[in-house]
A and B are shown apart, each in its own frame.
Chain A
Amino acid sequence: MPPRDELELHALFEPDVDVMNVRRQIAHAGVPEGSIHVLSPVPLSGAASDRIAGIPLYVVTVLAGLVGIGVGLFFAAGTAAMYPLMTGGKPIVAPPVVGIVSYETMMLVAIVTTFLTTVVKVRATNSEIRFRDARIDEGRMAVAIRVPMVGTIAGAVREALEQAGAIDVQASVIMDEEETVAQRVGPAASLLLPIALAGALVGCSQDMQEQASYQSQEAPRLHSPEGSIPRASRGVLKARSTSAGPSEERGAALFRINCVHCHGVQGDGDGPVAPYLKEPPGNLKNDEVRAMTDEQIYGVLTEGKDMMPSFKGELSANERLDLARFVASLSRPTTVRADGSEDH
């Protein structure tokens, strides 16, 4: 492509240059304001900064936020409208929930859109300038101006720049930008993104029936299906005491499961449901229990007593024996408590 008939002049200045004065002088030479770019290593405050053309960024943010609220409403309220399932007697979506989801989508869309708009604006601005001098970041200022190659304006601007105290003035003919890395990578990235998304979607099976589970109309099986996660490999109770025998430890575990809710952790008859019973549960440390043998306690567990039901159906004979030994041990000076700690 033949070179366009434009010239970019760039001038480097000491940091204490009066930027406004330089701009005035260049404008006086016949260059429109919009073609003058002041480059600096930090943002300049006040009059030196440029106004940005186009829709203000905050308007973009507000509009995107409103769209984000719409996305949230579509997701949450739309779900309720399209799938009017009642779970637990309630619709799947409630107004406060729609609010929470919409709040997050509002923020997401607002922030992402603001960011993308910023990227576009920055790219649009700096594509007008070809000049980049690493000395700017070392504490210099620069001015870049685009002028027509024909005519006297270029010479007038160069003169104005030198008069304003430029320490280095260069000129370059505007040609098509060399292919940047971004442009080389751009097409590849735009291809990769849909491929990655498509790959992600392929991976997302919707079919829950793929996982190991009972299938519809299948006869009940005694064992868990192959591939499901076992959970019986671990005991629930981890008794730390070694003083009590294994039988008592097993009894403590059974006590916690079957007895504590009425008789309490210590067997004092103060379990969490005790206040709601017509007849208070027995204190397992009282004289009556203390006087009983393991076998007598076993008998009570097997047949029940007063309000207490029989545990013949719930516990095997061995389990009842373990439990009876533990109950008997509650009255002794040192015993394993139902929560696993030692009681002295």
Chain B
Amino acid sequence: MDTRHAVWNDMRGINRDLLAPLSEVSGRYLLLVACLAALVAAGAGAWLYQIETGIGQTNMHPPIFWSSYIASFVYWIGVSHSGTFISGVLRLTKAEWRRPVTRIAELMTIISVMIAGLCVFFHLGRVWRWYYLIPYPNQREIWPDFRSPLMWDATAVFTYATASTIYLYLPLIPDFALARDRVGGWRKPIYTLLSLGWKGSQREWETLNTAIRIITPLIVMVMISVHSIVGWDFGMSLVPGWHTSIIAPYFVVGAVHSGLGMVAIGLYVVRRTYGWEQYIRKEHFDKLGKLLVVTTLTLAYLYFADQLTVWYGKKPDEMAILHSMITGDYAVPFWAMIALIYIFPLALLTNPTFRAWPVGMLCMGIGINIGMYVERALIIVPPLTHPRLTYQWSQYFPSWIELTILTGALALAVLLYVLLSKFVPLISIWEEKEGRLHAAAR
């Protein structure tokens, strides 16, 4: 264990290590940016084509009025819970291991919320009328229907996006000041502006810490409300398979599940790329794995409770959906989902050796995210393809336009992360130093 004196002496090294990504640009990095930009361009082209030729380019058709875009919206909002959960809940519980993880996760939050917002725009048939989404009266002075969960959704997602940007920015102020004094070029004036003239006096620290302490519980409460409301987008309708009271907590836990999986991916990639083995240690993967066991069990419990009620009630309209998933058209994605988000995590993450294996945790993160994406699609598609009266029964698989746009959106998320890694220190430098001092004092 480091003594306090050694930690103070190490601070120069910590600055050097954690600021290094801001100034290094390798050929591989540029190649990655070029590949991602090409994918984003393909997605943008497909979207333009869809706007030009109409929403009929998707495979949506009555009664399938929601599909892959809305599934992606729900998925990305879920991923955005990574930052808030890791950062907020672990800060509330004063978990020391959060320190190298929070920034990586908070950046994911901001980017995921942006991509989720974009998915709503993909779904708009006439995207140039996007402002109908904003609550303002039309020419007949009729306001939007506040009884609609979509209206609550717009309010909640806006609140969440604003709050998580603030939550990312506040702990960044001292790090921007650090970068301001050490990074030159075009970034220096931006760092100067964003660091608010930070000097590091105790009054500044006290103000900053008080603000973080106050905002942390608030943003956790916003996080829970956001995904509950996304759940209510479904739960408040009378569509069989959606109309269940358990849907809000189920959505929240599912969001945290996919968010934690995404953090595992981020931790592995950042650690591997920058050789930060001494910052992101096996202990962090282990702790993340334990949290994933908790979310797996909770999610499995909620899912089982919900499906058991459906099965026991034997209502024909709900049973048709259940059958289509267990043995019908959607059996392959359904069982893949069950394996990826419940069985593999439970079987492997309960083993301490596996949890401390970074490559294993990377694979687990990827698996959970694929599984959770399929799960979002299975919430939306089977109930819509099996409405109450069978004459409307139908099938759905996304068109190549939808797949291209959504691949472009995924590439955009990664591209934004890769670009931001050249501007924002990926590990909170002052919190890392503070954590080491705390550890040395114990």
Interface residues of A (CB under 8 A from B): 15-16, 37-44, 48-52, 56-58, 61, 75-76, 79-80, 83, 85, 87, 90, 92-94, 97-98, 100-101, 103-105, 107-108, 110-112, 114-115, 117-119, 121-123, 125-127, 129, 131-132, 134, 136-139, 142, 144, 180-182, 185, 203-204, 206-209, 211, 229-231, 233-234, 236-238, 256-258, 260-261, 265, 271-272, 338-341
Contact = CB atoms under 8 A, between A and B. Distances in A.
A234 B391 contact: no
A77 to B, nearest CB: 9
Contacts of B141: 83
Contact of B159 (A104, A122, A134, A136): A104
B395 interface: yes
Interface string B208-243: 111100110011011001000100000000000000
Interface of B: 4-5, 8-12, 15, 54-56, 59, 61-62, 125-126, 129, 131, 134-139, 141-143, 145-147, 151-152, 155-156, 158-159, 162-163, 166, 170, 173, 177-178, 181-182, 189, 192-193, 196-211, 214-215, 218-219, 221-222, 225, 229, 316-317, 329, 388-391, 393-395, 430, 433-434, 437
Most chain A CB atoms below 10 A, which of B61, B197, B203, B395 = B203
Contacts of B201: 37-39, 50, 125-126, 129, 144
B146 A92 contact: yes
B42 to A, nearest CB: 23
B55 A229 contact: yes
Contacts of A83: 137, 141-143
A207 B395 CA distance: 37
Contacts of B203: 37, 50, 52, 125
A49 B207 CA distance: 11
A19 to B, nearest CB: 9
13 contacts: A48-B202, A50-B202, A92-B147, A98-B146, A107-B159, A107-B221, A122-B196, A125-B203, A137-B11, A181-B189, A229-B56, A231-B61, A340-B395
Contacts of B143: 79, 83, 92
A128 to B, nearest CB: 8
Contacts, number: 250
Contacts of B162: 108, 111-112
Nearest to B64: A236
B193 A185 contact: yes
A92 to B, nearest CB: 6
Contacts of A79: 143, 146
B199 A132 contact: yes
A48 B206 CA distance: 11
Given A92-B146, A115-B215, A180-B192, A257 B391 contact: yes
A185 B190 CA distance: 10
A112 B141 CA distance: 29
A185 B189 CA distance: 10
A209 B139 contact: yes
Contact of B206 (A50, A138, A230): A50
A61 B189 contact: no
Contacts of B9: 139
A229 B54 contact: yes
A44 B394 CA distance: 64
Given A122-B197, A236-B394, 7 more contacts: A39-B200, A50-B206, A85-B142, A111-B163, A138-B12, A144-B201, A339-B329
B391 A258 contact: yes
B208 A118 contact: yes
Nearest to B222: A107
A101 B5 CA distance: 52
A97 B378 CA distance: 28
A180 B210 CA distance: 27
A204 B134 contact: yes
B199 A131 contact: yes
B11 A101 contact: no
Given A43-B434, A211-B129, A121 B207 contact: yes
B159 A108 contact: yes
Contact of B390 (A108, A261, A340): A261
B207 A97 contact: no
A112 B161 CA distance: 11
A118 B211 contact: yes
A23 B383 CA distance: 69
A139 to B, nearest CB: 4
Given A110-B218, A134-B181, A234-B61, A43 B209 contact: yes
A40 B391 contact: no
A61 B430 CA distance: 25
B11 A139 contact: yes
Given A101-B155, A108-B163, A49 B138 contact: no
